[in-house]
Amino acid sequence: MKVFSADRLEKLLDTVLKPSRYTGGEMNAVVKPFDQAEVTFAFCFPDSYEVGMSHLGIKILYDIINRQPWALCERSFMPWPDMADAMRREELPLFSIESRTPLDRFDIVGFTLQYEMSYTNVLEMLDLAGIPLYSRDRQDGPIIMAGGPCAYNPEPLAPFVDVFQIGDGEEMMVEAIACVRKCKKAGLSRLDTLRALAGIEGIYVPAFYQVSYNDDGTLADFYPVDDAAPAIVRKRIVRDLDSAAYPEAFVVPYTEAIHDRIVLEIMRGCTKGCRFCQAGMLYRPVRERSLETLLAQAEKLENATGYEEMSLSSLSSGDYTHLTELVCALTERYADRKISVSLPSMRIDSFVKQSLEEAQKVRKSGLTLAPEAGTQRMRDVINKGVTEEDLIRAVTDAFESGWSTVKLYFMIGLPTETDEDLQGIGNLARDVINAYFTVPRSVRAKGLRVTCSASTFVPKPFTPFQWQGQDELPTIKEKQARLGDILHQVKGVNFNWHEPELSMLEACFARGDRRMADVLYAAWKNGCRMDGWTEFLNYEGWMKAFQDCNVDPAFYANRVRGEKELLPWDFIDAGVTKAFLWREWQKAQRAEVTPDCRKGCQGCGLKRFEGVCVDR
């Protein structure tokens, strides 16, 4: 067993990159006496400190757990590879930031799964902590939990994780830790504790389910084998977001996080119905926070953090009912304190010129727009209800208000894509540049910068595209090269793209089943970790893992799935029904759009949850 030693840690810290990632002591970090807590929770983010500290979910749940007087929550992040290697060499176990307690001393070790390419880091962190990777090998020690958007297809991690939390965590987390507290007090066995947890709505305990396969490799059956486990696991929904817990203080890191600012979650869920977008389906229904609540949260957070920047977070901030009032109120209140307010993930169809002008009163940041596709036909297929006219009007407004940096996000490899759609991306970029030059020289800001970013489409569970195959690697590379040529013709555009290999691996895990767990383990054994970082992606290690496990990546990434196929995540009720998703998939192939459901119910299935989806 690895034994923690503060002295050995101090020695290591003098030798690694950015040691302040590991040392804590931040403003608003919660430090409770470890041994007095009845339930201890290590909140693990399977990526670097800088990435993890930017994440809103960890802030919310850290606050909620620590609000319980009997519970304690501390943070742990994936050590940078130099630190991970040094810790292994020195036999120093992975520890929590706050009290430097080794993870294996906690009652619960919980991971948030934000993206598939962090899965090797989950294994790496468990191993660094000296915790056996497979659930079946753990007779005692912490219960391993996981949640977050990727938990909606938990199967590739099923053998490693004891308990998945599916859906909004605010209420479910408190129930889960209260349950562990009760079981601990009653002296229940690990198995009985898992049984008790399986009784909580939204919780999935993979060990209680059996899987069988057909000869063609598709799923034949999936069923519970323990009385405590429900046949269908229903996602949790926080009904009233306005009264849901929200932190009054954020931990303020010393070393700069990727997003180092106040975040106000103005709204959860999105009704637009973009067919590629998993978040848009998973976080339904739309729930808004009131203006009063948000202004009060902003004030508390500013006083507690001293941040110089505030951002509004939601899937579609432009749709927030009181957006203009909110932005005006925030900029007015905080202008003299030199705090800037930024609006990310702005959808271009709801652009408000006024809010643009308000937003830049203090400081000006770049404008990011996501047309996603280059032609109207393609945008109709993906149900991105945005026209070229909307886009051009939005950027023209922005240029007239003195903005000169524009980022455009696109996807390639979408269903039914043709060369014309790639050409369309080039045309759109050209139109944006022309729009800049139509604004008089005296009005527009100098130094136009247009960046086109093209990611590769990854089909995700619980979206209408969950049946679609991803383009094969050579096709993606061809399309990237072609788009590069097209954009090269457009003067003044920067083009960047994502590693197609990474998108392919992401596709395998997004729609993988339990057999992908073997590949994951083998890849980790081959030294794969930090896969999301280009400099660490070890594609050969992954390909060898697929080979050694006799698993064909194309089966998961590129295969088109049929209407009747049992999908690995079908046992989860994520709100939207399979019938709705199939209907949307059929409409997509006919390039038929589905209007925003605020304008009329589209029957996605959320109405089945009593009182959560309200017609406006």
Rule CB under 8 A: choose which of 47, 50, 74, 302 binds another protein.
302
- Binding of another protein at residue 608 (CB under 8 A)? no
CA quadruple 406, 412, 416, 418: dihedral, nearest 10: 80
- Binding of another protein at residue 19 (CB under 8 A)? yes
Q: What number of residues does the chain have?
A: 616
| SS3 readout for 515-550 | HHHHHHHHHHHCCCCCCCCCCCCCHHHHHHHHHHCC
Look at the block and give the residue holding tokens 């996603």: 372
Site for another protein in 356-395 (CB under 8 A): 363
Per-residue contact flags (x/-) with another protein for residues 161 to 180, judged by CB under 8 A: --------------------
Rule CB under 8 A: choose which of 66, 121, 297, 305 binds another protein.
305
Per-residue contact flags (x/-) with another protein for residues 235 to 254, judged by CB under 8 A: -----------------x-x
Closest approach of another protein to the CB of residue 304, in Å: 6
* Cα separation, 211 vs 569, whole angstroms: 12
Rule CB under 8 A: choose which of 4, 13, 228, 329 binds another protein.
13
Q: Taking contact as CB under 8 A, which single stretch among the options 107-115, 187-195, 300-308, 538-546 is the one that binds another protein?
A: 300-308
List CB contacts of 330: < 8 A, sequence separation 6 or more.
295, 298, 310, 341
- Binding of another protein at residue 256 (CB under 8 A)? yes
Per-residue contact flags (x/-) with another protein for residues 525 to 544, judged by CB under 8 A: --------------------
- The SS3 call for residue 551 is coil
User: Which one, of 429, 417, 433, 413, lies nearest residue 371 by Cα?
Assistant: 429
List CB contacts of 187: < 8 A, sequence separation 6 or more.
none
User: Which one, of 195, 189, 188, lies nearest residue 224 by Cα?
Assistant: 195
Nearer to another protein, 219 or 252 (CB): 252
Rule CB under 8 A: choose which of 56, 295, 304, 593 binds another protein.
304
- Binding of another protein at residue 30 (CB under 8 A)? no
* Cα separation, 498 vs 506, whole angstroms: 12
Per-residue contact flags (x/-) with another protein for residues 115 to 154, judged by CB under 8 A: ----------------------------------------
- Binding of another protein at residue 15 (CB under 8 A)? no
- Binding of another protein at residue 338 (CB under 8 A)? yes
- Binding of another protein at residue 308 (CB under 8 A)? yes
The three-point CA angle 511-153-240 to 5° equals: 135
Q: CA–CA distance from 313 to each of 131, 207, 597 (Å)?
A: 35, 36, 21
- Binding of another protein at residue 303 (CB under 8 A)? yes
- Residue 261's Cβ-side half-sphere holds a number of Cα atoms within 13 Å equal to 17
Closest approach of another protein to the CB of residue 305, in Å: 6
* Cα separation, 525 vs 63, whole angstroms: 35
Closest approach of another protein to the CB of residue 306, in Å: 3
What number of helices (H) and strands (E) belong to the chain? 20, 19
Closest approach of another protein to the CB of residue 99, in Å: 12
Nearer to another protein, 115 or 307 (CB): 307
Closest approach of another protein to the CB of residue 6, in Å: 10
Closest approach of another protein to the CB of residue 18, in Å: 8
What sign does the dihedral 192-193-199-204 (CA atoms) show?
negative
Footprint of another protein on this chain (CB under 8 A)? Answer: 11, 13-14, 19-20, 23-29, 252, 254-256, 302-308, 337-338, 363
